[in-house]
Amino acid sequence: MIANYGYRDGSGEYYVTIDTDLCIECEGRWCVEACPERLFEIARDDYDDEVATIVASARKLLKERCSGCKPAGGYGSLPCTTACEFGAISHSW
């Protein structure tokens, strides 16, 4: 299942997408530790699998909260996507 967390406003679309079919394969949950903003958490999905999600209180603030990890923040690649060895995480912007 593809889970999209985020929002759309007048300036664009800001979604973190997690492919839960890939995410359930991960035992390390490295995305949780890799995110300097602590936006990821592990929760049970509708199928009772433990998968990464975005913290509910941050879902409408992703543009601001993720901006420090974008190239303008000095990163060459996003820590969360780099940490995810299964390629389950992507950003829409």
Q: What tokens were used for 9?
A: 């406003």
Most distant pair of Cα atoms in the chain: their distance: 38
Residues 30-55: pLDDT tens digits? 999 999 999 999 999 999 999 999 99
From CA 39, how far away is CA 31, in angstroms rounded?
Answer: 9
From CA 15, how far away is CA 28, in angstroms rounded?
Answer: 23
Residues 46-92: pLDDT tens digits? 999 999 999 999 999 999 999 999 988 788 899 999 999 999 999 99
CATH of domain 2-91: 3.30.70
Q: For the chain, what are the domain ranges?
A: 2-91
**Pairing, β 89-91 against β 12-19:** antiparallel
